[in-house]
């Protein structure tokens, strides 16, 4: 990659919208958000969403099978808005931090997520009965539904505002 390529990438990344696009599909929120936080598609690349949608019969230990029409619609929504396919700050950083490593099907296993959450003690998350898991984004990120994961907006239940 030449110097011009690096400059272009920096400008492209810096000019992106902050956060993650949050314009959610009503069908996606109803179908997927009925069981868990409806994660924005920009939090994972298309290959991860494809893997998730291909394995709904065993969706992290549960059956999440959908009628074919809903599955086709939701797959398209996720793939069209996945990290690497949208121009926004957080998805760009997620893709850039992963490098050439394979992506997991879990947002919490991405290199970016681990880096951003590495200073949080287990007692504030897994041992906190009000949080229980890093996958409960909206428990601590008050504006997660709007696509904002700003570190200045974090409030951990039973602890208060987080300042790293």
Number of domains in the chain: 1
Domain of 32 in residue numbering reads as: 16-161
Q: How many residues does the chain have?
A: 164
| pLDDT for position 101 | 87
pLDDT digits (tens, 9 = 90+) for 82-123: 999 988 888 999 999 988 888 999 999 999 999 999 999 999
Please, what is the average pLDDT of the chain? 87
| pLDDT for position 14 | 45
How buried is 49 (Cβ within 10 angstroms: 0-12 exposed, 13-18 middle, 19+ buried)? buried
Q: Is residue 7 part of a domain?
A: no
- Between CA 58 and CA 150 the distance in angstroms is 32
Q: pTM for the full model?
A: 0.83
pLDDT digits (tens, 9 = 90+) for 46-80: 999 999 999 999 999 999 999 999 999 999 999 99
Q: Is residue 88 part of a domain?
A: yes
Strand partners, 156: 160
Q: Is residue 104 part of a domain?
A: yes
């Amino acid at each position: 990659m030449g110097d011009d390529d690096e400059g272009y990438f920096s400008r492209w990344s810096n000019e992106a919208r902050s956060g993650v696009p949050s314009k959610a599909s009503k069908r996606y929120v109803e179908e997927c958000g009925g069981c868990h936080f409806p994660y924005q598609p920009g939090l994972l690349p298309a290959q991860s969403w494809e893997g998730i949608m291909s394995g709904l019969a065993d969706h992290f230990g549960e059956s999440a099978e959908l009628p074919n029409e809903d599955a086709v619609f939701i797959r398209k929504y996720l793939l069209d808005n996945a990290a690497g396919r949208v121009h926004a700050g957080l998805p760009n950083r997620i893709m850039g931090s992963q490098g050439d490593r394979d992506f997991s099907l879990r947002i919490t296993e991405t290199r970016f997520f681990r880096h951003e959450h590495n200073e949080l003690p287990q007692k504030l998350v897994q041992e906190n009965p009000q949080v229980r898991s890093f996958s409960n984004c909206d428990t601590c990120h008050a504006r997660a539904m709007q696509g904002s994961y700003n570190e200045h907006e974090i409030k951990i239940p039973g602890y208060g505002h987080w300042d790293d």
